[in-house]
Amino acid sequence: MAKYMLIMRATDESLARFEQTDFSEMLDAMGKFNDELIRAGVLLAAEGLDDPKEGVVVDFTGETPVVTDGPYGETKELFAGYYILDVASKQEAIEWAKRAPMTAGTKTEIRRVPTIDEFPQDNEWIRKERAWREQTGQL
């Protein structure tokens, strides 16, 4: 099994369509999909994100960090939410992504989440993180 993150990316058109969608309809569609993921035993985390206007960006491209109120950049740079799935393969993550509701006009980026075991185990910081993960029941 491997962890994959499904990053739900919006477009101007999909955001406009989403804003016109009845909230209870959206909850029902997402709830049914989330329930499928739970029943399949693959869902580790899922969160939607607040309106980009409420966010900030910390830009480190200059000598000192610059904080800018959102939204920032183009809509295609934003993501509206994510899922973290524990699945057997990238192909299985792709198949789940293809089944997600409310995705017309959007894109979903799929990225594997490396495990702590893939990092140098003799590193002091990796040892500390491993101890923290064990203490909090994450390992």
Segment 6-18 mean pLDDT: 81
- Full-model pTM: 0.81
Whether pLDDT at 15 is above 80: no
Residue 115 Cα distances to 65, 84, 120, 130, angstroms: 30, 13, 11, 10
Residue 128 confidence (pLDDT): 96
pLDDT digits (tens, 9 = 90+) for 81-94: 899 999 999 999 99
The domain limits of the chain are 2-135
- Cβ neighbours for 102, distance < 8 A, ≥ 6 positions apart: 18, 21, 26, 29, 30
pLDDT tier for residue 73 given thresholds of 50, 70 and 90: low
Instruction: For CA atoms 96, 75, 105, 29, give the dihedral sign.
Output: positive
- Domain at 2-135, CATH class: alpha beta
